[in-house]
Amino acid sequence: MINPDNKLGVNAAFQGRTTPNTLNLGLQVLSGRGIISGFSVTPVSGLTVSIGAVAGTPDAAIVQDDIGNRLIMTTRSTVPIEQELSAAPEEGSRIDAVVIYTNNPPEVLESIPTADNPTVCAMLVVEGEASASPVAPDDTAIRAAITADEASGATAYYAVLAYITVEAGVTDITAGEIQAGDAVAATGGWQAGSNIQINGTTISATDTTYTAGTGLNLNGTQFVADTSVLATQANLNSKAVGTTETYTIPYTSWLTQSAIDPFKYKTTVSAAYIIGNSTLVELINDQAVQFAKYGLAIGSVSGQSITLYSLEQPTSALTLSINFKEVA
């Protein structure tokens, strides 16, 4: 296993003992493995590429084992990691995969453990087979390469940061030959034409009624429960016509709060749209990674003021869209 200058880390406990499925609330709304933020792969010179450590962009990726358990790997340095690819094939082309991984379990056997457990983390380039119609290394090939790297390949947690096409005879890699690796998908969100669930009860996407109780947050959508109209009928069609306003929220405007668990931060925006008793106010989840990272939701609506909650404090300005629709 090679972790260049111990620049990679994993969010396992000191000395590696951890319960992967309960590590991070944010992981529960994500599907599969892949980059959450950063970990960009760019050409340097020749067949060398640079990974991560872009100023202002944290590197974080979900790595997954053979049965779906997940951890988060990060970089521990402000200096990019460099990886050199093998010489280009004489004929055809191949697709290489830039892979990060950590042992399973991520157990560190150090007398003095190091934060983020860098000794169980590694990066390698998994070389594809040269062909006239090359294919990228699959799970079997990647796990075999991790095993050859003297790690727990069959069960390791890993993610592919990028796929790089190496044409016959080339001596330099260009940006156009580098493609995105694994993509993290959000399992939450409201998709048109799909059924939705409220507290385990499935409601068909064609249903138009919802009886209000004390309020409902559905994947970031706030249904105001104290209106007479919502007590009888509300249109739950996500394609319904409405007015959308966009707000750019500085990261400095998020304030700490403890009243609403598990949210740690809140901020407010002022709507230009006149909000009445029959107005449905919806926070639009059009940025899956951002919503998964911060767990954004509407907390309350009072007059023209809308309070937003976040699981973590954003590190940069967020651009959010809110839709207003009259349901009367």
Q: What is the percent of the chain with per-residue pLDDT over 90, rounded to a whole number?
A: 34
Give the number of other Cβ atoms within 10 Å of residue 182's Cβ: 21
- 118 pLDDT exceeds 70? yes
Confidence category of residue 205, pLDDT binned at 50, 70, 90: very low
- 136 pLDDT exceeds 70? yes
- 246 pLDDT exceeds 70? yes
pLDDT value at residue 226: 41
pLDDT value at residue 9: 65
The mean of the pLDDT values for the chain is 78
CB 190 within 8 A of CB 218: yes
Confidence category of residue 112, pLDDT binned at 50, 70, 90: low
- 327 pLDDT exceeds 70? yes
Q: What is the percent of the chain with per-residue pLDDT over 70, rounded to a whole number?
A: 73
pLDDT value at residue 165: 96
Question: pLDDT higher for 153 or 24?
Answer: 153
* Tokens of residue 310, six digits: 């976040």
Cα 244 from Cα 294, distance rounded (Å): 21
- 72 pLDDT exceeds 90? no
Cα 249 from Cα 320, distance rounded (Å): 8
- 142 pLDDT exceeds 60? yes
- 110 pLDDT exceeds 70? no
Cα 219 from Cα 240, distance rounded (Å): 17
- 225 pLDDT exceeds 50? no
Q: Looking at residues 218-224, what average pLDDT do you find?
A: 45
Confidence category of residue 229, pLDDT binned at 50, 70, 90: very low
CB 223 within 8 A of CB 234: yes
Cis before residue 250, ω within 30 degrees of 0? no
